[in-house]
Structure 1
Amino acid sequence: MSKPVVHIANLSLKYQHKPVFQGLNWTINRYEHWLICGTSGSGKTSLAKAIAGLPHSYGNIEIAFNPDSDLPATVHYVANWFQFKDLEGQSNFYYQQRYNKQSAETTATVKAELESFGKKHALQLNEVESILAALGFSELKDSTLIQLSSGEHKKLQLVKALWLKPQLLILDLPYNGLDTLSRKNLNTLLEEVSNAGTQLILISNETELPSCINRNAEIKEGKLVEVSADERSWNEIEVSDKAVPTFLTEAAPTPSYSEIIRMIDVNISYGEKHVLKNINWEVKTGEKWVLQGHNGSGKSTLLSLICGDHPQAYANNFHLFGNKRGSGESIWEIKERIGLISPELHWYFDPSATVWQSIVSGFYDSSGLFCDPGYSKKAQTDELISYFGLDEYKNTLMNELPLGKQRLALLARTIVKNPELLILDEPCQGLDQQQTKHFNRLVDELCKNGTTLIYVGHFESQLPNCIEHRILLENGAVKSVGTTIERFESVENFEYN
């Protein structure tokens, strides 16, 4: 009888003095491919890191590789969040830097990153081409790492892992940030590597999974419990009935302009690469839009224009809040009217502030708190902390929170000032389904008061009910604009997928 591939006995792990696991036991046998699910903060990532042997992981964990396999005898862990470095080894980037031409010149290209990875692991470059094509990544080989969106960075890490084909592959939230077609193709690629001998552990709460997954487990109260596919806990979810803070439901002031956004033949290029092509889009005050498109279609760049982060806004015919860009307004005057969350903002956000400081900083559009906010702002921040269930984390540093809790804190920061325009770019990425429903309920309540909304989301089940309009991008151009989302097929079946 062959030895178990992974054997964990009495694993106990604390994080920030709080127990994560208490006597956790788990055995993974040959040919088993596991899905690990559970609520945000239950310890899924901690378990993945412990198996991968990353720093600060402790416990009795034995890994038995197959000596007869041609695959690398290693555990390869793909984190949900990847921090790249520039050519000088630095990783302290800021959000707007990805649109800066000079910054692009100091970071490696995707091609160089792949060449370096291939050389390190003695891989053949020609073998990665089919993986790049399947994940829609072939055209990005000449892009620099700083220019990639969060979804594109996730794809790059998946490309490297699938190219490597380790004996044990652990993927933490692998579907986050991926459009529907990329998810389907990823599942096909995972089935191929499993057939080649790679064993899989997926950390995910998704339901569309590769067919090779034959074991399911949840982490509950520090224990790993095996369940059937039908017993996964997300099938029965109760939405919190907490009252939305009253300061967020008060009537918003009526602006003097009828348009929030008007773009006329907007183009964005980097050299010969055209990212946005002749964009025409009008968003009237109070409208609720969903912005969609495949990974790399130009969504993030379009939003960067609206938020004042992209320098090429001044070279285009673009009106915002009733004024043409470049008519004397400052970036900070624009930002004070907008509440924004995006995977990229989360990525570059300063994690050294506490949860409370991070949320109250939303009043000032800063990454930290540099002044006394006063009684009213403090009280409103405390209300939001309670609404999102973050009371026990109030004085915890952001980088000490599980990813889902970090996301909730940044969502609270986004809405704390009750802005005229909400831009929510995949806001529920990393949240469990209960948290997603809770947040989208809040969005629906906020938008009853005339708040204008732009919401980026791939899946109908994860959209708020208030959405009225849809704009679809494809390869940097507007493919379609609709007046109501009901006119289209299910979001999972849009043509771009």
Structure 2
Amino acid sequence: MTHSNMNNSKPKSLSGDLGPIVHVSNLNLQYQYKLVLKNLNWTINRGENWLLGGISGSGKSSLAKVIAGLQNAVGEVEFNFNIDSALPAKVLFVESWYQFKNVEGVANFYYQQRYTSLQAKETLTVGAELISYSKENNLEFAEVEKLLKALNFSSLRNSQLLELSSGEHKKLQLIKALWLKPQLLIIDQPYTGLDKDSRKTLNSLLDEICADGVQLILICNDTELPASINCFAEIREGQLVQVESREMISTAPERTSRELPDFLKQSPVYSSENIVKMIDVSISYGEKMVLRNINWEVKAGEKWLLQGPNGSGKSTLLSLVNGDHPQSYANNFYLFGNKRGSGESIWDIKQHTGIISPEFHWYFDASSTVWQSVASGLFDSVGLFRQLPFSQKAKVDELIEFFDLTENKDDLLSSLPLGKQRLVLLARTIIKNPELLILDEPCQGLDQQQTQYFNQLVDELCNNGMTLIYVGHFESALPSCLEKRIVLENGEVKAIESIAESCLV
């Protein structure tokens, strides 16, 4: 079938001499004044499984959305599905970000809502979501059992969608895609938020469905890929370019080193030597225990790595430290020297902290401009609702220039590629030079060069005595300033150790 101007009609199935499963010709896509795809051509033959990599913002996700019929463009996309195959004759696109709705079909949740006591009635459970998906796609429910087990997801059947961490949401996306087994499966950033074991398991499962006839397009710059990936490409100046191997895919040019803004060279003013102190802290949702008897102390100036498998309790632990979790009042828990519940507000806590996380990115106001988004970090708001004095405007401008975002400062945050959106939020996080910097998977969506640069920035920032809690699954993408590590497993502390004495796994 041919899409001309990319309407929303569905591709039809053909039998006989099928030829390529997808043929893209003369595809053009423009955002405002930027031509993203320019007369792009791409043929995907039978048996080909592609890695689409390259520089952030080159148009990879846009191309995938066009092929999946989710993005309008000028040109032609022809599908030749096998009508005789047992696999569904369709394209499935798994986005890098998971969007879900509540029971009334609304998706505008707010960041702290996942921790409130009313959440149980807000969203479907994982089990209900899977039942609905099986009915919608005529799938055998028994088939999903092995996927749930393989990705350690069986215990989450009764969890609300709103309760899941970013890594757990990603797993749910992937489970549904692996269960459906469409003839063409496109996954944008398949490994985002997954721990080491889950990444290996995913690759094995992807190889299994490829053996059953599924064809893959993976959009990422990761090095550990399924064995079934046998074709490699990137987008250069709006056109698709095939290369011989993953190593030949372009990387962003190395950034020119810039001097840190003066206001970030100053040491934070600490209100207490003790930043975090937890004594037998436990968190539960009904009968489900998420954290159990946590004892942990973070002193001013320390740099901690927080690790653990998906679902181990990391996000909940950070929600306590950031002041978002209401159950902190029922525990023996201190922040910045004050016992929680002794009269301080959540905004008092946020004055001392800067945070970035996948969940915060989900719920951030994407209608703000880059400049407004960075400036909002001065007030811990998700948008800018006040005029700034000259001194604060100067800080915003300095930081935007430091991150090479000057040419984007008046652009809407939502118009930027994911990698640049993340850099904007990183700038927002550090603008007030906080006592405690909380970075939860801060490099999700960044390419290798951006990740390396950001971690160098973290190292520079921490030279001034800032306290750091850093969550990262990829051991090769961590800042070098980290000194100590706490590891969670099933909601309990598995290890607290010096990084110099440990072997990161």
Name the TM-score, length of structure 2 as normaliser: 0.95
Q: Quick one: distance in 2 between partners of 1:235 and 1:26?
A: 21
* Post-superposition offset of 1:75: 0.2
* Post-superposition offset of 1:237: 6.3
Matching residue within 65, 72, 79 for 1:56: 72
Residue 136 of structure 2 corresponds to residue 120 of structure 1:
yes
AA of the residue aligned to 1:257: S
Equivalence map 1:163-182=2 (5 Å): 163-182=179-198
Residue 114 of structure 2 corresponds to residue 98 of structure 1:
yes
Q: Quick one: distance in 2 between partners of 1:135 and 1:237?
A: 36
Contact 2:183 2:215 in 1 (8 A): yes
Matching residue within 385, 403, 411 for 2:418: 403
Equivalence map 1:463-474=2 (5 Å): 463-474=478-489
AA of the residue aligned to 2:456: R
Matching residue within 65, 75, 96 for 1:80: 96
Residue 170 of structure 2 corresponds to residue 144 of structure 1:
no
* Post-superposition offset of 1:270: 0.6
Describe the superposition over 1:394-450 as per-residue Cα deviations: whole angstroms up to 9, x where unpaired: 111111111111111101100011101000000000001111111111111110111
AA of the residue aligned to 1:86: N
Residue 227 of structure 2 corresponds to residue 198 of structure 1:
no
* Post-superposition offset of 1:488: 2.2
Contact 2:267 2:466 in 1 (8 A): no
Contact 1:110 1:144 in 2 (8 A): yes
Matching residue within 43, 48, 59 for 2:59: 43
Q: Which residue of 1 aligns with 2:7?
A: none
Matching residue within 383, 386, 389 for 2:404: 389
Describe the superposition over 1:67-88 as per-residue Cα deviations: whole angstroms up to 9, x where unpaired: 2211000000000012110000
Matching residue within 348, 370, 394 for 2:385: 370
Kindly report the root-mean-square deviation, in angstroms, between the aligned alpha carbons of the 2 structures: 1.3
Contact 1:16 1:400 in 2 (8 A): no
Q: Quick one: distance in 1 between partners of 2:272 and 2:323?
A: 19
3-state SS, counterpart of residue 24 of structure 1: strand
Q: Quick one: distance in 2 between partners of 1:8 and 1:57?
A: 12
Q: Quick one: distance in 1 between partners of 2:452 and 2:250?
A: 12
* Post-superposition offset of 1:239: 4.5
Describe the superposition over 1:289-329 as per-residue Cα deviations: whole angstroms up to 9, x where unpaired: 00000000000000000111000000000011011111111
Q: Which residue of 2 aligns with 1:134?
A: 150
Describe the superposition over 1:316-356 as per-residue Cα deviations: whole angstroms up to 9, x where unpaired: 00011011111111110100110000000001111111111
Structure 2 unmatched ranges of 5 or more = 1-16
Residue 241 of structure 2 corresponds to residue 220 of structure 1:
no
Q: Which residue of 1 aligns with 2:10?
A: none
Q: Quick one: distance in 1 between partners of 2:112 and 2:246?
A: 44
Residue 367 of structure 2 corresponds to residue 342 of structure 1:
no
Describe the superposition over 1:20-48 as per-residue Cα deviations: whole angstroms up to 9, x where unpaired: 01111111000000000011111110011
Name the TM-score, length of structure 1 as normaliser: 0.96
3-state SS, counterpart of residue 357 of structure 1: helix
Contact 1:171 1:202 in 2 (8 A): yes
Matching residue within 452, 465, 486 for 2:500: 486
Matching residue within 289, 295, 305 for 1:290: 305
Q: Quick one: distance in 2 between partners of 1:337 and 1:285?
A: 12
Contact 1:234 1:433 in 2 (8 A): no
* Post-superposition offset of 1:387: 1.5
AA of the residue aligned to 1:482: E
3-state SS, counterpart of residue 177 of structure 1: coil
Contact 2:18 2:82 in 1 (8 A): no
* Post-superposition offset of 1:229: 2.0
3-state SS, counterpart of residue 449 of structure 2: helix
Residue 259 of structure 2 corresponds to residue 243 of structure 1:
yes
Residue 288 of structure 2 corresponds to residue 281 of structure 1:
no
3-state SS, counterpart of residue 202 of structure 2: helix
AA of the residue aligned to 2:136: K
Residue 395 of structure 2 corresponds to residue 380 of structure 1:
yes
Contact 1:50 1:58 in 2 (8 A): no
AA of the residue aligned to 1:327: S
Q: Which residue of 2 aligns with 1:324?
A: 339
Q: Which residue of 1 aligns with 2:9?
A: none
Contact 2:189 2:220 in 1 (8 A): yes
Structure 1 unmatched ranges of 5 or more = none
3-state SS, counterpart of residue 217 of structure 1: strand
Q: Which residue of 1 aligns with 2:446?
A: 431
AA of the residue aligned to 2:161: L
3-state SS, counterpart of residue 84 of structure 1: coil
Q: How many residue pairs were aligned?
A: 489
Q: Quick one: distance in 2 between partners of 1:148 and 1:232?
A: 37
3-state SS, counterpart of residue 275 of structure 2: strand
Specify whether residues 239 and 393 from structure 1 end up closer, same or farther in structure 2 by C-alpha distance, changes over 3 A only.
Answer: closer
Q: Quick one: distance in 2 between partners of 1:336 and 1:92?
A: 26
